A and B are shown apart, each in its own frame.
Chain A
Amino acid sequence: MGYASTVKVPFGPQHPALKEPEHFLFEVDGDTVVGVTPRIGYVHRGIEKALELSTYGHGIYLAERICGICTIAHTCCYAQAVEELMGIDVPPRANYIRTIMSELERLHSHSLWVGLVAHEAGFDTLFMYAWRDREVILNLFQELTGGRVLHAINTLGGVRRDISPEMADKVRRALEHFEGRTKEYLRIVRTEPTFLRRTRDVGVLKPADAARLNAVGPTLRASGIKGDVRRDDPYVAYDEMPFNVITSDSCDVFGRTEVRTEEMMESIGIIRHALEHLPEGVFRVRAPRNVPAGECVSRVEAPRGEDMHYARSNGTAKPDRYKVRAPTLANIPALCKMLVGIHVADIPIILAGIDPCFSCMDRMVFVRSGGSTGRAR
Chain B
Amino acid sequence: MNGCAMTAACWFQPLLLLLLAPLIQGCARKLKACLQNRTGASVLQPYWDLLKNLRKEEVLSETASPVMRAAPYAAFSATFLACFLVPVLFTASPLGFAGDMIALVYLLALPRFFMALAGLDAGSAFGGMGSSREMMISSAAEPALVMVLFSAAVRAGSTGASETAAALAAGGPSVLGPGLALGFIALFLVALAECGRLPVDNPATHLELTMVHEAMILEHSGRSLALLELASSLKLTLFLTLLANLFIPWGMAGGTEPGAAALSAVAFLLKLGALVVTLSVVETSTAKLRLFRVPDFLGIAFVLALLGLLSEGILRLGL
Q: Are chains A and B native binding partners rather than an unrelated pairing? A: no
Task: Give A contacts to B, CB under 8 Å.
Answer: none
Task: Give B contacts to A, CB under 8 Å.
Answer: none
